[in-house]
Amino acid sequence: MAGLLNLLYVFLYAPILYVVFVSFSEDIVWPFPLSLTSQAYADLFSNSLYADALANSLILGVGSGIISTAIATAGVIGILRYPSKRRTLIIVIFLSPLFVAELLIGISSLAFNSRILGLPGNMFSAIAANAVEGIAFSFLIILSQLVRYDWQMDEAAMVFGARPARCFWEVTLPTIWPSLLGAFLISFILAFNNLEISFYNLGAIPTLPSVAWGSLRFGLGPELFALAALTNGFVFLIFAVMYVLMRTGLVKFGYRGK
Amino acid sequence: MKPDSTWRDFLTPFVLLTGPGTLFIGVTLLVPLLTVVMFSFWRTESYELYADWNFDNYRVLFGEAAYRTFLIRSVVSAAVTSLICLVLAWPVAYYIARHGGRYRLLLVLLLAAPFFTGVILRIAALQGILGPGGLINMSLGLAGFAPIKLLMYTQFAATIGHIYLYIPFMVTAIYLSLVNFDFALLDTAKINGAGPFRAFIEVTWPLNWIGTSIGTVLVFIPCLASTITPRFLGGPNATSFGMSLSQQFGETGTWALGSAMSVVMFIFSFLVIAVLKFTIDLRRSGFTGAGR
Amino acid sequence: MSSHDDTVSLSLEDICKQFGPVKAVDGINLDIRQDEFFALLGPSGSGKTTLLRIIAGLEHPTSGRVMVGGQDVTFMPPYHRRIGMVFQNFLLFPHKTVAENIVFPLRMQNIGKAQRDDRLSWAIQLLRLQGLEARYPHELSGGQQQRVSLARGLISRPALLLLDEPLANLDRELRAEMEIEIRRYQKELKIPFIYVTHNQEEALTMSDRIAVMRNGVFEQVGNRTEVYQKPKTVFVAGFVGQSNQMEGKVDKVNGGFLAFTWQGKKLVVPHAGDAKTGELVRFMIKHEDVQIEVASRKSAIPGNHNSIPGKLRDIIFKGQTVNYLVDLEGGMEIVASGSPRDMTLAAGDLVFAFWSQDTGSSFKLG
Ligand SMILES: Nc1ncnc2c1ncn2[C@@H]1O[C@H](COP(=O)(O)OP(=O)(O)O)[C@@H](O)[C@H]1O
Ligand SMILES: [Mg+2]
């Protein structure tokens, strides 16, 4: 099984490595034999389109991440802590976006915004439409972690004088933050790199995926490969830090074993 | 004194906590979907929608062979991809949950990290590896072998692309289910005479079926609606339902027909969910209290 | 009823709590005095936890009032009540150290650091937790976790301490030790304790007063000797201590006594109160109130005692006491309990089980 796991990682990362590799080579169609250049990186930083696209993608990611995590956290706490007849209904509602393809989310909000409300493409619609998907994923992640949480802990805190807000801050949050972080990260990534939902909601506002999509007609620009390589570099830097923290046992990220 | 006004009785903590999400999803998902359903009974003429109610869009959709082919192709492809992902993802998720130790979270995040690179770039990179001018076939060519035709612009290549894009969802869903699974139950089963395989079938599989079916949905739905992968990897004979659908909202501007296609796609997604839902018995899911 | 008495720290008035069709608590009235150790004893599911949660404010009663110091606190949220609580599964905050856990209530009351440290060292001393301040809960043994949980409950010197089966998760020896300790804290601090348990020995060991609860109602409230020696109902008689049971029709009522026939033997026992001749009664007598004598020494049994012949089947050691199991002719069994010192008997001996006519209690049935 360990072998299969490693194979899967190889499969998943081969194209990523390819992207990094291509970003440093002169010919992106047939990058052999290798002739290294950092031309793509120079082009990347001299073209403001990419900076705009990156900024917009970040806004989308952060906005959707925050909305999704906040709404999903409240929803999970609601169904786990306060038993209700409508619990199953609420679970179905919160998970329902998972059952609607991104393409349909994008197209339907385009149809509603442009034909019913008469709105042009805008950032708010795009964040909202992305957050719908993010809520469902966040709900799933947080729910699967929080089913084991003992809410009596909060009752104990309340008996000892903690008001609900204090109680959440002092007792609930320190225990559940890893799953909230996970939920935020996932909804961030989904919105950051989303093509179909954002494309139909943003009109002419560029994001990284839509720039990539737009440049397809003329063949992908090497700058895009460079940008992807940089993003991956950044992500892996974070992973490396996490690894060191876990290795030294400094932070456990919710893991309670030895 | 007991607060007894009616609006306060309605605003229970449950309602206050789940209300915002319900409202948000209602406004940003349900209402737009209903709009699309409505449009599917309208008519488009030179990029304008006209509200004369009719079934023409559906008649076109089911009448023309091309649309039927696209639909069947997409459904079959989604089903095959889901099945392959299921078989590959289980052992991987199991391994991480069981033997990942303190690095479990990191191992799972490593599955999600490729998402930081956009779909288009990843598919382009896959094309760069698999395609006719790609790494594999060019190397074969340089070494004097015939290229592998199967990898060039075929449904097979598109399926590899789908697996590549969506298997992380399946692994993560199963993993999230397994971390809540009490592995000591397996020992109990074994003490009572079940072999490892039997224990898996009798205990592990049923208790993680909900997670598994969620994973299946997470793979099936985007595959069904896939547009980019078949376009890049699939070649001319892999036009998918999603590709054709998005065309209606783009180049051709036939929004009403596109809306009808959306409704059909949604119905097919819903069928799969309904089938899976049918197999779920919450009381046997191991979530105590979930059946109430 | 509402005239406020200074020695009463908590009073419950007609408390009812309904969960759907289940009446978890069904009309409870109770006054807790300023410095008493009060035990709430009852089998699992009798509504003890629910009642405690209502007192703590974690649950609102369906009807009735909770009064503290003459003030109605029925709907006051828990964080304003200044009550201490010790939970069955400890519920220590896993991300906080022992010291942080203990001072939590003081921090919630915005008490300054200097005073917090002061009280912390007091609590550490009281509960003998020296050296454990910096540990995390999962680095402690069950007994230590229990002490921390008690320290957290006591540190703010609450007006009332609620304990919900605090010893149920500890092993037997630790439990015996903690029973004594907890009673000591109560006597030293003079804070009223309400102690929930399903273990009658625990209730009898520790408390001044006991309420025996079943199906949401109090079957009997009284000091421990009362509850032990003069149970008011069949349930209390069966639940507190271990009893032999005998049933029969009343032959005769004579002042404070009644006579009935059981296993062909005429028995004279204390009168139930309202049982009349011909009515069915159940007589219950505690194991340790029954004595045993070899058949050959029958003459040593004093008058005004009931005695029944039988055959000693087995002798069971129970720590400081032994139980003698006596088979009667009709297939019934009587258990007598005594000190192991007078052990000249062996299984198979013919014996008499006997007890004084004024011990035990009888109850009218039906
Ligand atoms: N939150 C609740 N919802 C429904 N029924 C409950 C709830 N809490 C307790 N009960 C029911 O109330 C009764 C008393 O429970 P409890 O107070 O926990 O008893 P005890 O602590 O004496 O074991 C039980 O029948 C229990 O099932
Ligand atoms: Mg209880």
Question: pLDDT tens-digit profile of B31-89?
Answer: 999 999 999 888 888 777 878 888 888 888 888 888 999 999 999 999 999 999 999 99
CA distance B282 to A88: 10
Nearest ligand to the C-alpha of residue C22? 1
Asked whether C48 lines ligand 1 (CB < 6 A), one says yes
For chain B positions 133-192, those within 8 Å of chain C (CB to CB) are: none
Strand, coil or helix: B43: strand
User: For residue range C69-124, what is the model confidence (pLDDT) as tens digits?
Assistant: 888 999 999 999 889 999 988 899 988 999 999 999 999 999 999 999 999 999 99
Backbone φ and ψ for C164, nearest 5 degrees, come out as -105, 100
Nearest CA to ligand 1 atom 13: C24
Name every residue whose Cβ is closer than 8 Å to that of residue C131 and which is 6 or more positions away in sequence. none
Per residue in B82-103, pLDDT tens? 999 999 999 999 999 988 877 8
Q: What is the distance in A from the centroid of ligand 2 to the CA of A167? A: 24
CB contact under 8 A, B1 and C75: yes
pLDDT tens column, B160-178: 999 999 999 999 999 988 8
**Per-residue pLDDT reduced to its tens digit, B99-148:** 887 788 788 888 888 888 888 888 888 888 877 767 777 777 777 777 77
Confidence at residue B114, expressed as pLDDT on a 0 to 100 scale: 86
Alpha carbon nearest to ligand 1 atom 21, residue: C49
**C237 by DSSP, 3-state: which?**
helix
Residue nearest to atom 20 of ligand 1 (CA): C45
CA of C50 to the centre of ligand 2 (A): 7
Instruction: Put the strands of the sheet holding C193-197 in their side by side order.
Output: C84-86, C161-164, C193-197, C37-41, C209-214, C217-223
If we measure between CA atoms, which residue out of C235, C187, C225, C218 comes closest to residue C203? Answer: C225
Using 70 as the pLDDT threshold, list the residues of chain A that sit under it. 26-36, 217-220, 249-258
Cα A175 to Cα A234: distance, rounded to the nearest angstrom: 27
Contact A221, A215 (CB under 8 A): yes
Pocket test for ligand 1, best of C22, C59, C163 (most atoms within 8 A of CB): C22
DSSP, residue by residue, C320-360: TEEEEEEE-TTS-EEEEEE-TTS----TT-EEEEEEETTSS
Go through chain A and tell me how many residues it has. Answer: 258
* Nearest atom (ligand 1) to Cα of C50: 17
Task: Looking at the CA of C88, name the nearest ligand.
Answer: 2
Residue of B281 and A21 predicted with greater confidence:
A21
Ligand 1 contacts CB of residue C47 (under 6 A) = yes
Provide the b/e sequence for A157-196 (b: ≥16 CB within 10 Å).
bbbbbbeeeebbebbbeebbeebbebbbbbbbbbbbbbbb
One-letter identity of residue A96: S
Domain segments of chain B as ranges:
58-278
- In this complex, is the C-beta atom of C230 within 8 Å of any C-beta atom belonging to chain B? no
Q: Which residues of C touch B1 (CB under 8 A)?
A: 75
> Into which CATH architecture does domain B58-278 fall?
Orthogonal Bundle (1.10)
Residues B211-246 have pLDDT tens digits of: 899 899 999 999 999 988 888 888 777 788 988 888
Give me the residues of B, 9-28, that contact A with CB < 8 A: 12-18, 20-22, 24-26, 28
* % of chain A beyond a pLDDT of 90: 30
Q: Counting beta carbons within 10 angstroms of the beta carbon of residue A218, is it exposed (0 to 12), middle (13 to 18) or buried (19 or more)? A: exposed
Residues B14, B20, B26, B29, Cα dihedral to 10°: -130
Report how far residue C218's alpha carbon sits from residue C214's, in angstroms, rounded to the nearest whole number.
6
Domains and CATH numbers, chain A: 55-232 (1.10.3720.10)
CA distance C326 to C331: 10
**Positions in chain C whose pLDDT score sits under 70:** 1-6, 341-343
Bond preceding residue C137 cis, omega within 30 of 0:
no
Residue B251 CB contacts under 8 Å (≥ 6 apart), including other chains: none
* Range list of H helices, C127-171: 142-154
Chains with 3 or more CB pairs under 8 A to chain B: A, C
Residue of B10, B11, B14 best to disrupt the A interface, most CBs of A under 10 A = B14
Alpha carbon of B195 to those of B189, B191, B200, B201, C233: distances in Å?
8, 9, 8, 10, 54
Structure tokens at B60: 């076109």
Tell me whether residue C164 is exposed, middle or buried, using C-beta atoms within 10 angstroms of its C-beta: 0 to 12, 13 to 18, 19 or more. Answer: buried
- If phi > 0 it is left, if psi is from -120 to 50 it is alpha, else beta; for residue A10 that is alpha
Cα angle: B265, vertex B159, A138; to 5 degrees: 60
Asked if the model's pLDDT at residue B2 lies above 50, the reply is: no
Helices (H), A113-256: 123-146, 152-159, 164-167, 173-192, 196-202, 208-215, 222-247
* pLDDT score at C155: 93
Q: Which residue has the tokens 């006597």?
A: C187
Cβ(C60) – ligand 1 distance below 6 Å? no
The reply to whether ligand 1 has any atom less than 6 angstroms from the CB of C42 is: yes
Q: Which residues of C touch B3 (CB under 8 A)?
A: 75
Interface touch C74/B2, C-beta < 8 Å: yes
DSSP C167: T
The pTM of the full predicted model, rounded to 2 decimals, is 0.83
* Ligand 1 within 6 A of CB of C22: yes
Q: Which token pair is C143?
A: 């007994």
> Which pLDDT score is estimated for A32?
60
Element containing residue C228 per DSSP (H, E): helix C224-229
What is the interface pTM, i.e. ipTM, of the complex? Answer: 0.88
What distances in angstroms separate CA B242 from CA A61, A76, B72, B238, one per listed residue? 25, 33, 12, 11
List chain A residues with CB under 8 Å of B119.
193, 195, 209
What per-residue confidence (pLDDT) applies to A257?
47
Domains and CATH numbers, chain C: 8-237 (3.40.50.300), 260-364 (2.40.50.100)
* Dihedral angle computed from the Cα positions of residues A143, A149, A154 and A157, in that order, rounded to the nearest 10 degrees: -140
What tens digit of pLDDT does each residue of C134-169 get? 999 999 998 899 999 999 999 999 989 999 999 988
Indicate the pairing of strand C8-19 with strand C22-33.
antiparallel
CA of C29 to the centre of ligand 2 (A): 19
Q: Which subunits sit against A, judged by 3+ Cβ pairs under 8 A? A: B, C
Q: Give whole-number Cα distances, C314 to A20, C242, C261, C306, C347, in Å.
A: 84, 17, 26, 22, 5
In this predicted structure, what is the pLDDT of residue A210?
85
Residue C343 neighbours by CB distance under 10 Å: 11
